[in-house]
Amino acid sequence: MKSKHLIFACLLAALAAGCTKQAPPSLDLLTTSISLPCEGGTAEVSIKTNQNWTVSSSQPWLTVTPGGGSASADYQTLTITATANEGEEKRQAEVTVTTGELSRMVSVSQAGTPRFTIRDFLAKPANTTTWYRLMGEVASLPEEHYGNFYLIDDTGLVYVYGLCEKRVSSNDQSFSKLGLKPGDTVTMMTLRSEHNKIAEAGGTTPAYFVSKVSGQYKLGSKVKSTSAKWMELPATSATDGQDLLIHRFADGKRSYAAYWDYKNLVSSWVAYPLHAGNIGDGSRSVESSFPMDPLLTQAEQPYLSAGYRAGNASGTFDRGHQIASADRPGKPDLRPNFETFFGTNMTPQDNSLNSNAWGSLEIKVRNWAKNAATDTLYVVTGCYGADAAAKYVEDSNGKHVGVPAGYYKALLRLSKDKTYSALGIWYDNKASDNTNFKGLSMSIDALEKKVGVDFFVNLPDDVEKTVEAADPKAENWWWNN
């Protein structure tokens, strides 16, 4: 009998123990993924757990409140907050709720900010109230005090007329504190303004600085002499005080090389290959002030934003391109055309010569290069007789720029059948409408004697001797095409 009572007592004890046993841990989330807009915002997630819990975020741009809580039979609310995503790319993060050995994750994605390009900026109307966030590379820096420079991206180019360290109502010359240089990527806030109906950033109310990423100018190099075997290059010297400024396309191929004369602030010559694949369509990338060459300091080159000012030379002088603007494309990449406007590619050329005979010669040269029978036309465009001590004009800062006595083109044509022919043409730096190019032509040997330059030194010696001595007037291809 006692054993029956003992068994019953044990059963009651077991039942009592079962009633006090705790339920297993649980953690439920009603939402496991959310998406937030680029400008930032919040979203709520409901959780229910019978345990104390904590929460964490995998990214600093994403915060969660509260950071933890106690067990509850009801759902509790998490508020997830993202800051604005100023990048173009979508970004991801995870919010993790943890209770003991259990954890659940909420995946969070945030859209990137649609890119606002220079092309978008140029399409906006000029106004004095709407600020735009603009980012691009410093392509040329002509004015270091007031922050005037060219900003470029893969969609366009804009002149920034005044950038300051902070938002101010008028330019405070704080730009120099920013330490910007060509090749840096800069982000700024700016109004959309215009000058002479040409779009600008900044203006009467200057743009102001947001951030920068340091970089370097990658499309050019300066060398004292060159071992390059490019067919268009004349001979250079390590002792004449001149440097070779080499400018390239974005893919690394050469665009042009300029032999820079520091004394007269002009390139003695500019040499470049010309063929159907690298000639522009005539559109210009620059319509306002001309940019500075990043390969030189401002003291070493002319600042030609307002053209040439009168010096002791009589006459009217254009900013005459040596490699013509139309010789390099401005689309889809603006840089090759933009870089033909560097002050190092300009010389003070008689206005009437530039707009008449010389302009016609440039067109003729391009047509020869684009001819179906031409592989490549190697071009040297040069000036002769510049002497800033004797005859000069001034740049926008008053530096003396030597006025050349004349201009020439030395052309070496490689045909599709791999034969060479060559010619030289000379003009005095004065008004001319003479487009009788056959009558003006001369052999390369004759041009070398006139200007003292050794052309096409990378031709094989036997070919060079024959080609440079030939009279181009007797080569009918030039005059029939």
Q: H or E stretch including 360?
A: helix 357-370
Q: In the prediction, which pLDDT does 460 show? A: 95
Q: Which residue has the tokens 């007789």?
A: 385
**Shared-domain flag, residues 240 and 375:** yes
The parent domain of residue 138 ranges over 118-213
The reply to whether 182 and 230 lie within a common domain is no
| Same-domain status, 100 and 128 | no
Residues 399 and 259 in one domain: yes
Coil, strand or helix: which one is 329?
A: coil
- Within-domain flag for 20: no
Q: Is the pLDDT of residue 399 over 60?
A: yes
Q: Does one domain contain both 151 and 266? A: no
CA atoms within 13 A on the CB side of 203: 19
Radius of gyration of the chain (CA): 35
What's residue 47's pLDDT?
Answer: 95
**Is residue 4 in a domain?**
no
User: Higher model confidence: residue 155 or residue 450?
Assistant: 450
Confidence label for 123 from pLDDT (cuts 50, 70 and 90): very high
State whether 202 and 334 are in the same domain.
Answer: no
pTM over 0.85: no
Total residues found in the chain within this entry? 481
Domain co-membership, 235 together with 255: yes
Q: What is the rounded average pLDDT for all residues in the chain?
A: 92
Tell me the residue ranges of DSSP E strands in 121-197: 132-143, 148-152, 157-164, 185-190, 192-195
Does residue 9 lie within any of the structural domains?
A: no
Asked whether 251 and 280 are in contact (CB, 8 A), the reply is: no
What local confidence, expressed as pLDDT, does residue 290 receive? 85
Q: Cβ–Cβ contacts within 10 Å for residue 362, how many?
A: 20
199-222 pLDDT per residue, tens: 999 999 999 999 999 999 999 999
- What sign has the CA pseudo-torsion 18, 19, 22, 24? positive
Residue 173, phi-psi category: left (phi > 0), alpha (psi -120 to 50), beta (remainder): left
**Three-state DSSP state, 173:** coil
Residue 114 is predicted with a pLDDT of 86
pLDDT confidence band for 317 (50 / 70 / 90): very high
Nearest alpha-carbon partner for 358 in 347, 346, 350, 368: 350
Q: How far is CA 257 from CA 183, 226, 228, in A?
A: 20, 10, 11
Quick one: pLDDT at residue 5? 53
Strand 102-110 to strand 33-36: parallel, antiparallel, or no bridges (unpaired)?
A: parallel
Q: Of 290, 353, 349, nearest to 317 (Cα)?
A: 349
Answer yes or no: are the C-beta atoms of 283 and 331 closer than 8 Å. yes
What CA–CA distance (Å, rounded) separates 167 from 163?
9
Smallest CA-to-CA distance from 232 within 252, 247, 254, 248 is with: 254
Helices 444-451 + 461-469 axis angle, to 10: 90
pLDDT greater than 50 at residue 1: no
* 451 and 306 co-located in one domain: yes
Q: What is the pLDDT of residue 21?
A: 61
Q: Is residue 16 part of a domain?
A: no
Average pLDDT over residues 385-403: 96
Predicted confidence (pLDDT) at residue 92 exceeds the cutoff of 60: yes
Q: What is the pLDDT of residues 441-462, one digit of tens each?
A: 999 999 999 999 999 999 999 9
- The predicted structure's pLDDT at residue 362: 97
In this prediction, what percent of the chain has a pLDDT beyond 90?
84
Q: Say how far apart CA 225 and CA 15 lie, in whole Å.
A: 100
Q: What is the pLDDT of residue 10?
A: 47
Alpha-carbon dihedral angle through residues 264, 268, 272, 278, given to the nearest 10 degrees: 40
Rounded distance between C-alpha atoms, residue 109 and residue 94, angstroms: 9
User: 454 and 326: one domain?
Assistant: yes
Q: What is the CATH number of the domain that holds 265?
A: 3.40.570.10
Using CA atoms, how far apart are residues 157 and 290, in angstroms rounded to an integer?
13
Residues 6+ positions from 315 with CB-CB distance below 8 Å: 350, 351, 430
C-beta separation of 238 from 224 below 8 A: yes
Same domain, yes or no: 259 and 398: yes
* Cβ proximity of 256 and 272 under 8 Å: yes
pLDDT tier for residue 472 given thresholds of 50, 70 and 90: very high
411 and 297, same structural domain?
yes
The SS3 of residue 107 is strand
Residues 90 and 230 in one domain: no
- The proportion of the chain whose per-residue pLDDT surpasses 70, expressed as a percent, equals 94
pLDDT of 81 strictly over 70 = yes
The CB density around residue 210, as the number of other CB atoms within 10 Å, is: 14
The tally of CA atoms less than 13 A away on the side-chain side of residue 270 is 25
Rounded to whole angstroms, the Cα distance separating 401 from 393 reads: 5
**Is position 11 within any domain?**
no
**Beta-bridge mates of residue 79:** 44, 65
Name the strand (E) or helix (H) holding 337.
helix 335-338
Average pLDDT value for residue range 171-190 = 95
